[in-house]
Amino acid sequence: MRVIVRRERPHPGAQLSSFEEADGWRYQAFVTNTKHGQLAFLEARHRAHARVEDRIRHAKDTGMGRFPSREFAINQTWFALTAVAADLIAWTRLLALTGDATVLAACEPKALRYRFLHVPAGPASYPYTVIESPHAAMSSSAAS
C-alpha cells in the first residue's frame, strides 16, 4: 500500500481551508496498491479517475440515483433513459458548448438544464422588412 501526497501552490482565488491558509500550500493525497510505476503516471491516473467520479455524480444528479418504483422493469427502463440523458449531456458539453459557452460546459447538470435547455424561444428577427399585402389592408378597412 502506497500513500502519495502532492504539495502545490493554490491558484489565485482558490478557497482555502484554515490549514492551507496557515501553511500556504495545498496538499492532495491518495492511496494506491500499485507496487511499481512512476509517481507522475500514478497521479495522472488518479486525476483521470476523479473525472470519472464527476461523471458518475452528474449521472446521479440527472436521475440515475433515484428509482421511481419497486418494479424491476420500470426501474430498468428508468435507468436506461437516465443513461441516455447523461450521455446526451456529456456529448452536448463536448460538441456544442465551445467558444463563448465554455462556462456552461463546466457547470452542474441542474445549472445546465436551466441555463441552456430551458431557454425560451424569442421573437425571430429577419434581415428584411415585412410588407403587408394590399389585400390585407383592404380587408381591415372593410371591417371598420
- Mean pLDDT, consecutive 10-residue stretches, the chain (144 aa), reads 84 80 83 83 81 84 87 94 89 81 79 76 66 60 56
Q: What is the pLDDT of residue 72?
A: 95
Which cell is 4 given? Answer: 502519495
Looking at the structure, do residues 12 and 59 belong to the same domain, yes or no? no
Looking at the structure, do residues 20 and 77 belong to the same domain, yes or no? no
Q: Domain count of the chain?
A: 2
Buried residues in 70-88 as b, exposed as e (16+ CB within 10 A): eeeeeeeebeeebeebbee
Q: What is the pLDDT of residue 140?
A: 56
Residue owning grid cell 445549472: 111
Q: Which domain holds residue 28?
A: 1-36
Helix axes 39-59, 72-95, angle to 10 degrees: 120
Q: What is the pLDDT of residue 77?
A: 95
Helix (H, G, I), strand (E, B), or coil: what is residue 29? strand
Q: Is residue 127 part of a domain?
A: no
Distance, CA of 33 to CA of 3 (rounded, Å): 9
Q: Is residue 99 part of a domain?
A: yes
Q: What is the pLDDT of residue 83?
A: 92
Q: What is the pLDDT of residue 75?
A: 94
